[in-house]
Structure 1
Amino acid sequence: MVSRTAFIRTLITLLAVLFWAPVSMTATAQAAPAAAAADDCRALAPGASAAAERAIAAACAQVAAGTWYTWGGGHGAQPGATYGQVDPTDPASEHDPERRGFDCSGLVRYAYAQAAGSDILNGVASQQYYTHRAAARFTAAQGLAPLLPGDLLAYGTKQDLQHIAIYLGAGKMVEARQSGTKLMVSDVRLGNTYFGAVRVNTGQVTGNIHRTWGTDVWTKAEPRIAADRVYAFPYSTTIRVHCQKHAELVSAEGYDNDVWSYLPDYKAWVTNIYIQGPAWLEGVPDCKDNPPAP
């Protein structure tokens, strides 16, 4: 026969177990989201366009898959992961030729190709930042306040933009950062190297769209050869031309031309010698009638 004392002891034990279990499960349930939030890859603020949401989802799917950063990765004939190359300036890239993945601009290219259904951002980080598909641009001084998820964050100088990432909101970005790491969610770095941001237009582009030819063609702060350099097109590049005007005569590649075009995406000028088409571009207004904004 069980004694009264033993019965009471058993009852107390059972009650303790019943009360302890829910409290423990509740504590565990509350702790779990905090652990997941550290690498939460999704749009973390409202306001993103449907296309930007799709670009973020495509990039985040690669994060979830554990895809590697690999130097030169993502720059094949079509958007998508490729094997990388050895970066001669980075010893950590020695295994990149064995890893299938993306570098920073390769990831941006892939994400927005998935979003738009076409290869709209094929190029390196500087070409993606200076894209003729810019819907809006933001300077480093503006910080993160005006940005929306899906905007592209660029790092470097106007002559050499070296890194690009996709903003998620709430001070976070998704990026392919460096050799030896996998694609990741990071805190936005607002330091000396942060250059600014661009919002991508995935729809129809308006304006006077032309294309350059040649390699390493410099744009200038003013329409003259001796003016400060702004950015060099590494190869043939699609550009948006605001206006053109007669200025300093330029002789190059067997041609003479005194017409210069203003490119609003670069806030710079380029000689028409390096723009495909006639010396005076058809359909582009004279800057006397349509001056560039200050």
Structure 2
Amino acid sequence: MAGRTTAVAAVTALTLLTTWAGAHGATAATTTATAAAAAGECRVLAPGASAVAQKAVAAACEQIGVWYTWGGGHGPQPGPTYGQVDPSDPDSAHDPERLGFDCSGLVRYAYHRAAGGDPLTGNAYHQFHSPQVQQRFTAAQGTAPLLPGDLLAWGSGGSVHHIAIYLGAGKMVEARESGTRITVSDVRLGGDYAGAVRIAPAAQAPGTFSTWGTDVWTHEEPSTTSPRVHKFPGPTTVRIDCQKHAEPVTAEGYTNDAWSYLPEYGAWITNIYIKGPAWLDGVRTCP
């Protein structure tokens, strides 16, 4: 009887261990897959940025999946450091055990990698008001004038409590808060969004235009009935390769049969949602 009991206990323990391992393995696999997916979409998503800004985006995107840690990234040299406990945030309890960045630590590291030296020291407030800033954009301007590598900030009353790096297409890479990892997010234009700054001068990119409107979809073909590809949540800078006459579209009180091809998205957008004339100047006709 004792032998049978031991055998049953062993089988039960093995079953529990297998179940635990399977569950945790699945969780680890899911986490890895999520990080890989985020890393895949973390890249320059619009044309026109300077070489330095593009390098900053690439450097920040290399950190996808790294922990947010309060105070992380503010060591003697740019790079990940162990964080601190934020007395006002219970979620920061494990930050001293985690190697990573806070929001401004990530920005500091990205521009260190891009430009050399240590051009963006200090916290989010100092970076937003850095002498390295070459151009400013108000919150009311939204994302329309922004280019990849621009820094977006949140705060009110003259303070800045968060900063992130714009990717283009309404996306940003950020170290957001304790308990989370560096990730790609949709730009949050509401709340206390304070505007953006440009650190590096923009390169002049031919064929660059801006969309307008909200929740504007692109399509696989120049037709509203073809599959959707990407949605622009708000005004976005895009590069247009060519345009052609295709399906007439009526929207926002306009009718137009011109469609433009966006090579970065591999998709078409009706010219109704491109700022400019119905047939865009300086853009070739698609073959």
Distance of 2:166 and 2:103 partners within structure 1: 13
Describe how 1:70-149 pairs up with structure 2 within 5 A.
70-149=69-148
User: How many pairs are equivalent?
Assistant: 168
Could you say which residue in structure 2 is the equivalent of 1:45? Answer: 46
Distance of 1:73 and 1:115 partners within structure 2: 19
TM-superposition CA deviations, 1:77-125 (whole Å, max 9, x none): 0100000000011100000000000000000000000000110000100
Distance of 1:195 and 1:158 partners within structure 2: 10
Describe how 1:200-279 pairs up with structure 2 within 5 A.
200-201=199-200
Find the structure with the greater CA-based Rg.
1
Describe how 1:22-61 pairs up with structure 2 within 5 A.
36=37, 40-61=41-62
- The structural deviation recorded for 1:201 is 3.4
Contact 1:44–1:168 at 8 Å: present in 2 too?
yes
Is structure 2 residue 221 aligned with structure 1 residue 195? no
- The structural deviation recorded for 1:134 is 1.1
Distance of 2:63 and 2:39 partners within structure 1: 17
Is structure 2 residue 173 aligned with structure 1 residue 180? no
- The structural deviation recorded for 1:36 is 4.4
Distance of 1:199 and 1:40 partners within structure 2: 22
- The structural deviation recorded for 1:135 is 1.2
Could you say which residue in structure 2 is the equivalent of 1:159? Answer: 158
Contact 1:171–1:188 at 8 Å: present in 2 too?
yes
Partner amino acid for 2:127?
Q
CA gap of 1:41–1:147, structure 2 versus 1, over 3 A, is: same
Contact 2:38–2:184 at 8 Å: present in 1 too?
no
Partner amino acid for 2:54?
E
Structure 2's unaligned 5+ residue stretches are 1-35, 202-287
- The structural deviation recorded for 1:37 is 7.4
Could you say which residue in structure 1 is the equivalent of 2:168? Answer: 169
Distance of 1:147 and 1:71 partners within structure 2: 28
- The structural deviation recorded for 1:39 is 5.7
Distance of 1:76 and 1:38 partners within structure 2: 25
User: Runs of 4 or more off by more than 4 Å in structure 1?
Assistant: 35-39
- The structural deviation recorded for 1:159 is 2.2
CA gap of 1:96–1:169, structure 2 versus 1, over 3 A, is: same
CA gap of 1:38–1:100, structure 2 versus 1, over 3 A, is: closer
Distance of 2:51 and 2:168 partners within structure 1: 15
Distance of 2:39 and 2:101 partners within structure 1: 22
Distance of 2:120 and 2:194 partners within structure 1: 19
Could you say which residue in structure 2 is the equivalent of 1:18? Answer: none
CA gap of 1:39–1:93, structure 2 versus 1, over 3 A, is: farther
Describe how 1:56-71 pairs up with structure 2 within 5 A.
56-63=57-64, 66-71=65-70
Contact 2:112–2:119 at 8 Å: present in 1 too?
yes
Q: Percent identity between the aligned chains?
A: 70
CA gap of 1:129–1:152, structure 2 versus 1, over 3 A, is: same
TM-superposition CA deviations, 1:23-54 (whole Å, max 9, x none): xxxxxxxxxxxx94796000101111100110
TM-superposition CA deviations, 1:232-289 (whole Å, max 9, x none): xxxxxxxxxxxxxxxxxxxxxxxxxxxxxxxxxxxxxxxxxxxxxxxxxxxxxxxxxx
Give the SS at the match of 2:161: strand
Give the SS at the match of 2:167: strand
Partner amino acid for 2:167?
L
Distance of 2:118 and 2:111 partners within structure 1: 8
With structure 2 as the length reference, what TM-score do the two structures score?
0.56
Give the SS at the match of 2:73: coil
- The structural deviation recorded for 1:160 is 1.3
Distance of 1:37 and 1:44 partners within structure 2: 13
With structure 1 as the length reference, what TM-score do the two structures score?
0.55
**Cα RMSD (Å):** 2.0
- The structural deviation recorded for 1:133 is 1.0
Give the SS at the match of 1:166: strand
| Higher RCO (CA < 8 A, seq sep 6+) | 2
